[in-house]
A and B are shown apart, each in its own frame.
Chain A
Amino acid sequence: MTITVNGATTELPENNSRTIDSLLEELKVSQRLYVTVELNGEILDRDAYESTLVTEGDAIEFLYFMGGGC
């Protein structure tokens, strides 16, 4: 399965039951509990991470908290 993650083409093993939540685990995304996921241009509700399936061609952005300014 080919998807785009943070602008980069990413090959993943075929898996029809891969959710956004399991993708976060699989890709070892940092700040996993707090990261915001944008799926195909729309911000995804956090409570949908477990129920939303990753499908061929998806464009996914991980958006991270950055609190500094100091």
Chain B
Amino acid sequence: MALTETQIERYSRHIILKEVGGKGQQKLLESKVLIIGAGGLGAPIALYLAAAGIGTIGIADADDVELSNLQRQVIHFTPDIGKPKVLSAKEKIQAINPDVQVRTYHEWINAANIMEIIRDYDFVVDGTDNFAAKFLINDACVLAGKPYSHGGILQFVGQTITVLPGESACYRCIFPTPPPRDAIPTCSQAGVIGVLPGVIGSIQATEAIKFLLGKGELLAGRLLMYDALKMKFRDVEIKRNSHCPLCGENPTITEAEDDLSLLTVCDLEQS
């Protein structure tokens, strides 16, 4: 389908980039990206992917908007308090760009639903706030061969890596097993500077767009770490780990499973 005149104007700053062009913009409009988590990371990811004209955006989250979310979750506004986050996000996405089809999943992802939910998408972005979800997303995406972007933040530091299953290191190549519950503080316990998810989430959205366009060098096999207090970025090369329990030589994880020991998440604890 050719771009309409309105679309040519809307996406003109993309179209003049040689890495995008009309063809690339069309590719984006035909692409499907799933964002898991409509919180701090999910907010900028959804806003930028909507503005960029990703044709279908899925967004999964079971939470409602709370007052304490608004310091950083920039897709939700004060009048949205009490509204499901996926609905609040959908309204903003559609207001930014009516080209985008939004699919909402007003539920927590778990082992029973994740394979079905991710199936139809070209790329998945992890914007969740707990290790149970982060490991589940990694396992499901690697098992399904679905490329995805991992992001994690706390206080003033964040990190992100793009996982190309079978090609580059996965999250379990770095961290074979989740930490014990409550071993690592959450944002609700330890705080987070409000702009931090804006930085990390914007990088994750960039990775999604680059992947869909097939342009540039992805953050695959490199863990990017950001320290907002020192204002420093560093990336560390991460090779695939032959002992990885998921994508190593003798995998012990062969299907997506919930880690029941981790299921209490910070937002659940709050509510």
Residues of B within 8 A of A13 (CB): none
Residues B187 and A68 in contact, CB atoms below 8 Å apart: yes
Residues A63 and B129 in contact, CB atoms below 8 Å apart: no
Residues A45 and B243 in contact, CB atoms below 8 Å apart: yes
Distance of A61 Cα from B235 Cα, bound (Å): 11
Residues A43 and B241 in contact, CB atoms below 8 Å apart: yes
Residues of A within 8 A of B127 (CB): 69
Query: With A68-B152, A69-B152 given, is the CB distance from A41 to B186 under 8 Å?
Result: no
Distance of A60 Cα from B2 Cα, bound (Å): 52
Residues of A within 8 A of B129 (CB): 67-70
Q: Count how many pairs of residues, one from A and one from B, have CB atoms less than 8 Å apart in the complex.
A: 87
The 0/1 profile, CB within 8 Å of B marked 1, for residues 43-70 of chain A is 1011000000000000001011111111
Distance of A42 Cα from B241 Cα, bound (Å): 7
Output the residue of A34, A63, A69 with the most chain B CB within 10 A. Answer: A69
Q: Which of B207-242 contact A (CB under 8 A)?
A: 223, 234, 236-239, 241
Residues of A within 8 A of B263 (CB): none
Number of chain B residues close to chain A: CB under 8 A: 42
Main secondary structure of the interface of A (DSSP, over half): loop
Residue of B nearest to A6 (CB): B234
Residues A34 and B179 in contact, CB atoms below 8 Å apart: yes
The 0/1 profile, CB within 8 Å of A marked 1, for residues 136-168 of chain B is 000000000000000111100111000000000
Residues of B within 8 A of A42 (CB): 239, 241
- 25 A-B pairs with C-beta separation under 8 A: A6-B234, A31-B179, A36-B175, A38-B236, A38-B238, A42-B241, A43-B174, A43-B243, A46-B176, A63-B175, A63-B223, A65-B131, A65-B183, A66-B157, A67-B134, A67-B184, A67-B186, A69-B40, A69-B42, A69-B127, A69-B128, A69-B152, A69-B153, A69-B197, A70-B192
Chain A residues packing against B (C-beta within 8 Å): 6-7, 31, 33-34, 36, 38, 41-43, 45-46, 61, 63-70
